[in-house]
Structure 1
């Protein structure tokens, strides 16, 4: 929800601080604040053991912003100029011209972000302390660890049934974590195709 707004500002030709903020954004891709300072910041804000901490920490993706900025810059300037003549402000241009024209890009970025958040378990492990707030991936990680312990015990005891149980838990966990994302891909496929067709037409 935050990347389109930032990307729109950075895609404006008349914005004087565009180069400064782009350099600042690219700098954070190579040198981030680190895990401990981020944890201390979340704790000082009173967001520890809150799902809001997970949302805020992963709310802005610099790579996604750069992709969306490039997509916004490829939109013909004449569309925006026509809207400005009709009296549209920046918010109207963003919501009525830029975003509807960039549906394919938004769908791909949303899918990438959703997959990244779905597979994320490290941040919840750091910021969440109550087990009832754990996301599915963190619970599945615990199940995998338990399955590995079962396999280790099976090697010592030479128990074929116990070893089989550990393998079953492992592969069941993989299926459970993969199926929801596989169900989402068919709905986003048309946006992938649309993006490819638009790219070929521009060429």
Structure 2
């Protein structure tokens, strides 16, 4: 039985508990949100998200950082890198982020998520205003120079197929909440831009 058919079973009903999202958020003195960092491999998504989480945690806010590589060690360890598997990877992350937002957390998600449809899929899972798309805009040549995992070198050599930015397209966000020019500012400065956005949207005080 597929995941979809299970979800549509008439005998499976969402159980509403007494302690809800609003209670959990008020308890934490913040609004739940999912900050979705998207960009090419090596753009700096995880580095910026990590710098931001450190700032938020030190200020007493409740967060969780979801990183693309980390989730593939467990939750998505059974998935490959085909178009279908990559879409399923994002779907699972979206469902997980939704549960974390329900817990009242500020979720920082760092994923290439190259297609607009994938990011819209996650947005549609969340309540209005909870999905905050952040485009880490770093030029391809800069990402290739960094190449922290050696993936671009392998892709150029034909050892990796369908690599985003080389032989697979990346669709930049059409209207991101924030665009970070990661090649021009330090991670700390970019994290500060994110903090300003969160304050502007009253996610944090």
User: Does TM-score exceed 0.5, indicating one fold?
Assistant: no
Higher percent of residues as strand: 2
TM-score by length of 1: 0.26
TM-score by length of 2: 0.26
Higher percent of residues as helix: 1
Name which structure has the greater RCO, CA cutoff 8 Å, separation 6+.
Answer: 2
Structure having the higher Rg: 1
